[in-house]
């Protein structure tokens, strides 16, 4: 229950929209989804809590975008096509300007992906946003086409999409730990506050990638999930990873801005990138590039999968990374 505007007014005004793909949306006790014949439902939830996942004063439009983006990113990692989502929202008060911004950012991204808001729950409490997304994955000859964490094999190439480390760069600047020129901060901040879920790439990689996941907690830690679930190890070229920091390419970038140690930390362990990390057999290199072109999303090969367990970091010319830099291997 929310006082002031009233819970049902609030739901009607900001979170109720006609549905086309779902059979029934907001307004009854359940929503009804209608996956196409031959499709499996892919389901994922993510919660965003004030203070932990975002600052209290973050732009509500950006927050609405990010709350759905992190969920769409999970669908992307599985190769699923977004279908619908529910929104469970705890709000300290019914602030109309905030609700306008939040629902605007949320629903703009939802519309861009044809993902329909079909229900949820609204209650009074410390700001907390929990979204559950539903997506479709084809089943072909009885076999699910979903991309899983468990499919990586020794000899496979290791790739990441897009850029790495810029979200962490922005976070450090916002915390006052790094001084960034304003245009550079604005660019990096977009990566932190408005991540781009790689939805088209995930679907294009079905039947091509052997394993995939999305990067929310940092490349090395997240890659550890693929390695553990596939029973393999990996070698990662740390310098291929730091070259993916988009800020490098910005004219305002200066070599003294961020130490090499920090660059490695941001690219390898930064978090909040919402890129895809995936593996594919060497024989699929052309198919991987074709998927990247089809999805209009760059992908970069940054290493390979080994039979030997553990994670090995390489320097620019393939030598093992040593000393303090090697300590970025969190799970060696």
Asked whether position 117 contacts ligand ADP by CB under 6 A, the answer is yes
Of the residues 28, 286, 296, 324, which one makes contact with ligand ADP according to CB under 6 A: 28
Closest separation in Å from C-beta 87 to ligand ADP: 4
Burial of 141 (0-12, 13-18, 19+ CB in 10 A): exposed
Give which of Mg ion, ligand ADP, none residue 120 binds (C-beta under 5 to 8 Å, depending on kind).
Answer: ligand ADP
Q: Site mask, Mg ion, residues 152-191, x = CB under 5 A?
A: ----------------------------------------
29 interacts with Mg ion by CB under 5 A = yes
Question: Torsions phi, psi of 303, nearest 5?
Answer: 165, -165
122 binds, options Mg ion, ligand ADP, none, Cβ within 5 to 8 A by partner type: ligand ADP
Closer residue to ligand ADP, CB minimum distance, 72 or 89: 89
Indicate which single residue of 27, 125, 126, 207 sits in contact with ligand ADP (rule: CB under 6 A). Answer: 27
Using rule CB under 6 A, residue 94 touches ligand ADP: no
SS3 content of the chain, % helix, strand, coil (to 5): 35, 25, 40
Radius of gyration for the chain, computed over Cα atoms and rounded to the nearest angstrom: 21
Task: Say whether residue 324 binds Mg ion (CB under 5 A).
Answer: no
* Nearer residue to ligand ADP within complex by CB, 6 or 114: 6
Q: Is 153 exposed, middle or buried (0-12, 13-18, 19+ CB in 10 A)?
A: middle
Long-range pairs of 10-14 with CB within 8 A, sequence gap ≥ 24: 10/94, 10/99, 10/122, 11/120, 11/122, 13/99, 14/99, 14/100, 14/102, 14/103
Tokens at 195, concatenated: 């991540």
332 vs 308: CA distance, rounded Å: 12
Q: Which does 296 bind (CB under 5 to 8 A by kind): ligand ADP, Mg ion, none?
A: none
Q: Under the criterion CB under 6 A, does residue 104 sit at the interface with ligand ADP?
A: no
Only segment of 22-30, 107-115, 243-251, 314-322 that touches ligand ADP (CB under 6 A)? 22-30
Residue 294: how many other CB atoms lie within 10 Å? 13
d(CA 275, CA 328) in angstroms, rounded, equals 19
Q: In what order do the strands lie in the sheet with 310-314?
A: 211-214, 276-280, 157-161, 299-306, 233-237, 310-314
Residue 305 binds to ligand ADP (criterion: CB under 6 A)? no
Residues 49 to 88 in contact with ligand ADP, rule: CB under 6 A: 87
The secondary structure of 129-146 as a DSSP string is: EEEEEEEEEEEETTEE--
Give yes or no for residue 122 binding ligand ADP (CB under 6 A). yes
Least distance between ligand ADP and beta carbon 45 (Å): 14
- Applying CB under 6 A, what is the total number of residues that bind ligand ADP? 13
Interface region with ligand ADP, contact rule CB under 6 A, candidates 27-35, 158-166, 196-204, 226-234: 27-35
Residues that bind ligand ADP (CB under 6 A): 11, 15, 26-29, 87, 89, 117, 119-122
């Amino acid at each position: 229950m929310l006082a002031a505007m009233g819970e049902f007014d609030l739901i009607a005004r900001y979170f109720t929209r006609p549905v086309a793909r779902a059979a029934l949306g907001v307004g009854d006790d359940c929503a009804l989804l209608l996956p196409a014949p031959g499709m499996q439902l892919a389901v994922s939830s993510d919660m965003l809590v004030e203070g932990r996942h975002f600052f209290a004063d973050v732009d509500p439009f950006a927050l609405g975008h990010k709350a759905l983006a992190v969920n769409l990113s999970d669908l992307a990692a599985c190769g699923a096509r977004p279908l619908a989502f529910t929104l469970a929202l705890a709000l300290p008060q019914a602030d109309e300007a905030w609700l306008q911004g939040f629902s605007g950012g949320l629903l703009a991204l939802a519309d861009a992906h044809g993902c329909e808001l079909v229900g949820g729950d609204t209650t009074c409490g410390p700001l907390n946003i929990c979204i559950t997304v539903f997506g479709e994955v084809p089943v072909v000859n009885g076999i699910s086409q979903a991309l899983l964490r468990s499919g990586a094999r020794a000899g496979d190439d290791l790739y990441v999409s897009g850029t790495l480390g810029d979200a962490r760069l922005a976070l450090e600047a916002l915390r006052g730990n790094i001084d960034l020129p304003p245009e550079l901060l604005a660019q990096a901040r977009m990566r932190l506050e408005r991540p781009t879920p790689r939805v088209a790439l995930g679907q294009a990689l079905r039947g091509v990638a052997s394993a995939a996941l999305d990067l929310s907690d940092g490349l090395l830690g997240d890659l550890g999930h693929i390695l553990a679930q596939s029973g393999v190890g990996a070698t990662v070229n740390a310098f291929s990873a730091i070259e993916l920091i988009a800020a490098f390419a910005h004219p305002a970038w200066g070599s003294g801005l961020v130490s090499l140690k920090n660059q490695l930390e941001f690219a390898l362990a930064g978090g909040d990138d919402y890129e895809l990390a995936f593996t594919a057999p060497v024989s699929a290199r052309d198919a991987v590039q074709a998927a990247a072109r089809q999805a209009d999303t760059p992908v970069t090969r940054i290493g390979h999968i080994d039979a030997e367990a553990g994670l090995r970091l390489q320097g620019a010319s393939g030598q093992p990374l040593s000393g303090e830099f090697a300590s970025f291997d969190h799970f060696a």
